[in-house]
Structure 1
Amino acid sequence: MRLFIAEKPDLAKAIVQGLGGGSRKDGYYDCGEDYVTWCFGHMLQLLDPEDYDERYKNWCMDDLPMSHIPWRKKPGGDDRSQDQLKTITGLLKKAASVVHADDPDEEGQLLVDEILEYTGCRLPVKRILINNNTTAAVRKALAAMRDNAEFAGLSAAAEARSVGDQLYGYNLTRAYTLAARSKGYQGLMSVGRVQTPILGLVVRRTRAFNAHTKACYYNVTGQFDVQGVTFPGRYQVAENDPVDEKGRLVDERHAKGVAEAARDRPARIVSAVTRSKEQHPPLPYSLLKLQTDASRKYGFKPDQTKDITQALRERHKLITYNRSDCEYLSDELHPEAPAVLAAIGKTAPVLAPAAQRGDPAIRSRAFNSAKVSAHHGIIPTETTADLANLSDGEQKIYLLIARAYIAQFWPQHLYDQTDVVVEAGGHRFALRANITTQPGWRVLYKNDAGNDDLDGDEGAVAIDVRSLQDGQAGSCTGAVAEKQETKPPPLYTMATLLSDLTRVAKYIRDERLRKLLLEKDKGKEGEHGGIGTPATRDSIIATLFDRLYLIEQGKNIVPTKTAEDFYDALPDQAKFPDMTALWHEQQKAIQAGERDTLSFVTELMGYVAGEVDRVKEQGLAIQVDLHPCPTCTKPLLRLRKKGTQDFFWGCSGFGGGCKYACEDKAGKPVPKTALEVSAQHKCGACERGLARRPNPKKKGAFWWSCSGYPECKQTYPDRKGQPDYSKAKTAA
């Protein structure tokens, strides 16, 4: 019996169909001579420090660095995942051979390999590579299986990254946190190979914004009339013009002189060239691109968008795999177009006319198997539903995904592009003009303001100047020099931060490391030297917000003071993307068999140990704002309200009897307003004054309590601003 092990149930089902069918059992399919089972993502996880030694439950600087080599793993996930692992283990005992059927990438390779190692499996193992769940694609892959040993390097590289991330994060997080707490800091100084560079991006961008000093430059624009065609032209900087580093005029007198020289002078067309152009529709969505658009259009947080796509895929079966980092589609998916377009029309009537106008015979650039990675782009399935039964967020995300798919079957956007150079008064001016000849797919996006996919050539205007020809004469009817002010780099929004995470290589100062990071994403559409993955970026950003390193000011994302202090205390290697680039270089060597995982981890621990020693010796240069308890002066602690994401502040002297607590606002305690004790209204039980309190459960309502609480627990309802003595109660 061959045992196929797939990453997810839907892939297992596709394999069953490719094998000719089978019967569903508890946790697997019986296909006669073959059994097919599945995982739920990673079924195993690395042991935590306290699993190796109980003393690590308590954080202590003397115990650092922690170095559990060799590392071990344990079953992870929920009960469902652990039960499925038992099913796989039982099937392995019955099998004669195994077929590794996970995603064709590093993590996918590790996911099954680590199960085989954990269970001590010594059976022959084949590898099937499937990145498209259609029956035809699965059958093609079944006929081209390879020896799993060929892919050992992928698994080893993923293992090295996983172990490295754990040891790096655990050790440095504890070291920095303990050093900060020695100065009175109460939170967690969380460090991660991806998390900390993301924080660094936001800190540096915010500081550049705040430190920006305005400077002036000048744009000279001429207005021209040539053979009855009127158009503007932008002055083209000439040699020896006074310009800044971006080639902009910086001398007001010179700029006005150019305008005056050209104004009301004869003009001549130096060149006029018209070319027919075509614009492809936007590619289908990857998760990151979808998160970016959902943030820009609807203000959705990245993790919110991921959760919505998870529901659309698993609960409603309306979209394909939702965590893809790819925007392309396999060639085998093209024949499914008529059925998918029809399903979109039934599910979303608002898109039915557009889906019906789509031509399934059109094969857009999106259909390119050579550019598909472990998964193809996110597209609708042939499953239908009633859009009205989906949540508002599910409707919005489904419509985005569906529109992008429909666009693949609409005609190209065609336009004529005309580049004009005109001369007047000894100076040259230029214009680029675009005129649409066939709107094509852009009709679907006509109301989508701010969409980068719609942006044409920067500065191009919609003026028809196609009739202009070289040598034609006319005049410059006007020219002005306009003063402009330089602008700082804009603060991050969620959409622009997500976008920047795909191209952080441009922020690496070491040229060799920058090239390494770019090489990592070679051939990936939408990734140009990025950090993190589409499946993890949203949770990492959410963590930075949860730990109050980042906050939102309107739509902008900025760091807190604690985050900036923490950033300043870190070494450059931690707060820039350099670590990811260095690891990529070493993981390439692991993939090629030129080094092993153990040597990588051992070398990394040398760096970690050195950084821990530095922190032990030098401490952490961080300023901490302590908030004393107004009752007993002991420090207040910021605590999370049970079962919520909200915080409050409580006295650290709670164990000694101080019960002071107050609300939280932007990470700071909001002092309680002192109760005003009435001199007129006395407690009927002890004769002390009563205090009128607002009812937290009902706006505008009040109640009265004894100022002698907690010794006296007498309370009274409020009646027109007076205590109602007839309804006195003793609080529990």
Structure 2
Amino acid sequence: MRLIIAEKPSLARAIAAALPTTAKRQEGYLVAGDTTVTWCLGHLLEQAPPDAYDPAYKPWRRDHLPIVPSRWKLTPRPRARGQLSVIRSLLKQASVVVHAGDPDREGQLLVQEVIEYLGWKGAVARLLVNDLNRPAVARALARLEDNALFQPLYQAAESRARADWLYGINLTRAWTLIGRQAGIDGVLSVGRVQTPVLGLVVRRDEEIRRFVPYPFHVLWADLSVAAGTLRAWWVPGEQHRLDERGRLLERTPAEALAQRLVGAQGLVSSVETRQRRQAPPLPYSLSALQVDAARRHGLSAKAVLDICQRLYERHQLITYPRSDCRYLPEEHLTTLPRQLASACTNDPTLAGWLRGADLSRRSKAWNDKKVSAHHALAPTGRPFEPARLSSQEADVYRLIARNVIAQFYPPLETCEVKAEFLILEERFRASGQQVLVPGWKPLFTTREEAPPLPALNQGEACHVNAAEVEDKETTPPEPFTDASLIKAMMNIARYVDDPDVRKTLRDTDGLGTEATRASIIETLLDRGYLVRQGKALRATRLGVALIHSLPEAVSRPERTALWEQRLEAITNQADPSSFIDALVQDLHGLVGSADAAALSQAMATAQGESMAPASKGRRRKAGASNTGASNTGKGRKSAKGTRSSRSSKTRRTSRQTSGEGSR
């Protein structure tokens, strides 16, 4: 019997459907002739807790740190034991085993660790599927590879999992123990990903709190030219007092010029015209969808993820949602028009958009070379019936369908005009935009970015009809919201100075993954480090104190870039042990830097500043969910000796969320 082990049930179903024999469903697997297809449910295994290595580690003690296993152990996740038993039983009957994890680092780990844990000693083939369409899966089945070729990828993923465990376990225990001395009840969770995300919010809040506004002044003039009227803005020269952005800090020069302007004559000193063609926005990855759904519909990142899971699993309206890719397989071009026609029939909005589409068009979204483990989110072709969905589900579905339909619209073509005027020997500027071909734009908005300017010719005369000075004031940066924090995590390279680090972070996924970013935000809320104030995410006193008590390197994203460089080296066959050894050496210094007096001072300082209050609805005692202490999510003794457990929302069995508590 040939046994294929897929990463998830949806992939298993797609593989079974591509086999020549019709598959029959059994409990936990599918049978098609001499091939059996079973599946994992995300990670079935997780890193064992410290006391699995030595019962002495169950009580948390400073002199135990850093805890470094000499021989690593895995343990079954509680909710995965049943499926693990199914796979164990099937392996005993198998003559051939095929690894069908996603074609990425984590997908390689997820299935291979199960195969090895259950003691399979035979050869393993590798099936690489990144498109669930039946012809694509059938082609993948015809070109199996030797799983041994992917051993470096497995070692890199395994090293990442162990490193996150070492980092989260040891720093969480160290800071929890000094927290006890500082009078903080519960677990102070520290992780490679969650702590830099918290650091982003803390630093943004402090920038807002310390912001001192100052006034500046602008002068506009309404002008007449041969073809109409427009408004232009004065460009003060360097002889005036300006800030770093060229804004005028003294009102007097603007007032004096305004008094002379009305009735004055001038000329158009320059006209710059540029025509632009803008392709439609690409189909969504999960994070890109979370950003847009937050802005358009006020949905939290977690709400969007949950909605997508329902659209995928319950309603079967969209493809796999936890994707970091914004491109579609070229093969889908042949089937998507039919799928869109079926999907849009029952909704007037979608049907109207589809009527305006030219299905013979091909945008840059269709690109096999840019499709990774998964492709972009897209409709499956099942009829969309809004009445059977919640309003939020319908809103999110329309966004997903819209971005795919937009690929069959022409580019947006605009004419952008920038003009300068010379009036009383002073420079004025104006800009405008004219839409030449609306293309895909009406699917997204009917608002014009900037009104068009009247026709202008260099050297033509202009006349000042009115002028006025406006008093303005600088404003602080906006606090993070779900949308802007997700975007910051996606584009974390913007928040570092080192060019090499920036490049690494641009080349990777940033902080977190598509599926974990929402849970990271929710985790920080659950642990009382963040609180929602309307749409804003603000750091609490506890969150601020934790960041200020940690070494700066722990609360910044550079470590993720450094790890990615080393993991990439392992993928290219570097020795994994050197990465772990370097981390252990680093941990000795980090654990040794834990200082109760510094944490007490940080709490006192935070108390004296205007911190966001803890939310009564979300705030628990520090560490009431203690997944930051380990990868297990099983719960363990808190600092007071009481048992705690991961919330059901963050405990779901999925490979993307597994272990994130320690990250």
Equivalent residue number for residue 576 of structure 1: 556
- Larger mean Cα displacement after TM superposition, 476-485 or 133-142: 476-485
* Deviation of the 1:194 alpha carbon: 0.8
Separation (CA, whole Å) in 1 of partners of 2:491 and 2:257: 39
* Deviation of the 1:260 alpha carbon: 5.6
Separation (CA, whole Å) in 2 of partners of 1:18 and 1:592: 33
Equivalent residue number for residue 20 of structure 1: 20
- Amino acid in structure 1 at the alignment position of 2:451: A
Correspondences of 1:38-187 after superposition (within 5 Å)? 38-78=39-79, 81-187=80-186
Q: Indicate how the Cα distance of structure 1 residues 241 and 344 shifts in structure 2: closer, same or farther if over 3 A, else same.
A: farther
Q: Indicate how the Cα distance of structure 1 residues 358 and 568 shifts in structure 2: closer, same or farther if over 3 A, else same.
A: same
Answer with 1 or 2: which has the greater Rg. Answer: 1
The question of 1:601 aligning with 2:589 is answered no
Equivalent residue number for residue 531 of structure 1: 511
Separation (CA, whole Å) in 2 of partners of 1:259 and 1:304: 52
Q: Secondary structure at the match of 1:440?
A: coil
The question of 1:283 aligning with 2:282 is answered yes
Q: Which deviations, in whole Å up to 9, do the C-alpha atoms of 1:504-529 show, x marking residues without a partner? A: 222224444333322325xxxxxxxx
Task: State TM-score, norm by structure 2.
Answer: 0.86
* Deviation of the 1:129 alpha carbon: 2.3
Equivalent residue number for residue 7 of structure 1: 7
Equivalent residue number for residue 520 of structure 1: 508
Equivalent residue number for residue 360 of structure 1: 359
Equivalent residue number for residue 709 of structure 1: none
Equivalent residue number for residue 30 of structure 1: 31
Equivalent residue number for residue 443 of structure 1: 442
* Deviation of the 1:77 alpha carbon: 4.7
Equivalent residue number for residue 331 of structure 1: 330
- Amino acid in structure 1 at the alignment position of 2:564: H
Correspondences of 1:709-724 after superposition (within 5 Å)? none
- Amino acid in structure 1 at the alignment position of 2:335: E
The question of 1:292 aligning with 2:291 is answered yes
* Deviation of the 1:646 alpha carbon: 7.9
Equivalent residue number for residue 492 of structure 2: 504
* Deviation of the 1:56 alpha carbon: 2.5
Match 2:472 to one of 449, 465, 484: 484
* Deviation of the 1:624 alpha carbon: 6.1
- Amino acid in structure 2 at the alignment position of 1:497: L
Equivalent residue number for residue 660 of structure 2: none
Equivalent residue number for residue 526 of structure 1: none
Q: Which deviations, in whole Å up to 9, do the C-alpha atoms of 1:229-288 show, x marking residues without a partner? A: 211223345565543222323343444455566653332223334443333322222111
* Deviation of the 1:498 alpha carbon: 1.6
Separation (CA, whole Å) in 2 of partners of 1:212 and 1:507: 19
* Deviation of the 1:618 alpha carbon: 6.1
Separation (CA, whole Å) in 2 of partners of 1:28 and 1:455: 54
Identical aligned residues as a percent: 40
* Deviation of the 1:337 alpha carbon: 2.1
Equivalent residue number for residue 614 of structure 1: 593
The answer as to whether partners of 2:274 and 2:417 remain within 8 angstroms in 1 is yes
Separation (CA, whole Å) in 2 of partners of 1:283 and 1:199: 30
* Deviation of the 1:483 alpha carbon: 2.9
Correspondences of 1:210-229 after superposition (within 5 Å)? 210-229=209-228
- Amino acid in structure 2 at the alignment position of 1:36: V
* Deviation of the 1:647 alpha carbon: 6.2
Separation (CA, whole Å) in 2 of partners of 1:436 and 1:645: 47
Correspondences of 1:273-672 after superposition (within 5 Å)? 273-384=272-383, 386-446=385-445, 456=449, 461-465=450-454, 467-521=455-509, 530-596=510-576, 598-615=577-594, 620-622=599-601
Q: Secondary structure at the match of 1:498?
A: helix
* Deviation of the 1:88 alpha carbon: 2.5
- Amino acid in structure 1 at the alignment position of 2:45: L
Q: Secondary structure at the match of 1:3?
A: strand
Q: Which deviations, in whole Å up to 9, do the C-alpha atoms of 1:59-109 show, x marking residues without a partner? A: 22232221113211122251xx32322332333334343332221111011
Q: Which deviations, in whole Å up to 9, do the C-alpha atoms of 1:392-450 show, x marking residues without a partner? A: 33222222222222222233333322232322222332322112233332222236xxx
Separation (CA, whole Å) in 2 of partners of 1:102 and 1:259: 69
Separation (CA, whole Å) in 1 of partners of 2:238 and 2:503: 33
Separation (CA, whole Å) in 2 of partners of 1:648 and 1:547: 7
- Amino acid in structure 2 at the alignment position of 1:53: D
Q: Which deviations, in whole Å up to 9, do the C-alpha atoms of 1:468-504 show, x marking residues without a partner? A: 2222223233444433211111111222122211122
Separation (CA, whole Å) in 1 of partners of 2:94 and 2:433: 65
Q: Which structure 1 segments of 5+ residues have no match?
A: 448-453, 522-529, 626-639, 650-732
Separation (CA, whole Å) in 1 of partners of 2:273 and 2:501: 42
Equivalent residue number for residue 263 of structure 2: 264
Q: Which deviations, in whole Å up to 9, do the C-alpha atoms of 1:542-574 show, x marking residues without a partner? A: 111111111122222211112212221111011
Aligned residues: 612
- Amino acid in structure 1 at the alignment position of 2:582: E
Q: Secondary structure at the match of 1:620?
A: helix
Q: Secondary structure at the match of 2:318?
A: coil
Q: Secondary structure at the match of 1:615?
A: coil
Separation (CA, whole Å) in 2 of partners of 1:478 and 1:87: 81
Separation (CA, whole Å) in 1 of partners of 2:55 and 2:595: 22
* Deviation of the 1:347 alpha carbon: 4.7
Separation (CA, whole Å) in 2 of partners of 1:520 and 1:313: 26
Q: Indicate how the Cα distance of structure 1 residues 183 and 356 shifts in structure 2: closer, same or farther if over 3 A, else same.
A: same
Separation (CA, whole Å) in 2 of partners of 1:648 and 1:133: 44
Q: Secondary structure at the match of 1:230?
A: strand
Separation (CA, whole Å) in 2 of partners of 1:170 and 1:603: 17
- Amino acid in structure 1 at the alignment position of 2:67: M
- Amino acid in structure 1 at the alignment position of 2:215: C
Greater RCO, 1 or 2 (C-alpha within 8 Å, sep 6+): 2
The answer as to whether partners of 1:345 and 1:356 remain within 8 angstroms in 2 is no
* Deviation of the 1:374 alpha carbon: 1.4
- Larger mean Cα displacement after TM superposition, 248-257 or 401-410: 248-257
Q: Secondary structure at the match of 1:65?
A: coil
The answer as to whether partners of 2:549 and 2:602 remain within 8 angstroms in 1 is no
- Amino acid in structure 2 at the alignment position of 1:252: R
**Larger % of helix: which?**
2
The answer as to whether partners of 1:262 and 1:427 remain within 8 angstroms in 2 is no
Separation (CA, whole Å) in 2 of partners of 1:107 and 1:553: 35
- Amino acid in structure 2 at the alignment position of 1:490: E
Correspondences of 1:672-691 after superposition (within 5 Å)? none
* Deviation of the 1:193 alpha carbon: 0.6
The answer as to whether partners of 1:4 and 1:34 remain within 8 angstroms in 2 is yes
Q: Secondary structure at the match of 1:376?
A: coil
Separation (CA, whole Å) in 2 of partners of 1:103 and 1:575: 31
The answer as to whether partners of 1:39 and 1:84 remain within 8 angstroms in 2 is yes
Correspondences of 1:200-239 after superposition (within 5 Å)? 200-236=199-235, 238=237
- Amino acid in structure 2 at the alignment position of 1:28: Y
Equivalent residue number for residue 645 of structure 2: none
The answer as to whether partners of 2:525 and 2:618 remain within 8 angstroms in 1 is no
**Larger % of strand: which?**
1
Query: What root-mean-square deviation, in Å, do the aligned CA atoms of Structure 1 and Structure 2 show?
Result: 2.8
The answer as to whether partners of 2:362 and 2:407 remain within 8 angstroms in 1 is yes
Separation (CA, whole Å) in 2 of partners of 1:619 and 1:235: 51
Task: State TM-score, norm by structure 1.
Answer: 0.78
Q: Which deviations, in whole Å up to 9, do the C-alpha atoms of 1:604-626 show, x marking residues without a partner? A: 1222222222226866335669x
Q: Which structure 2 segments of 5+ residues have no match?
A: 605-614, 623-663
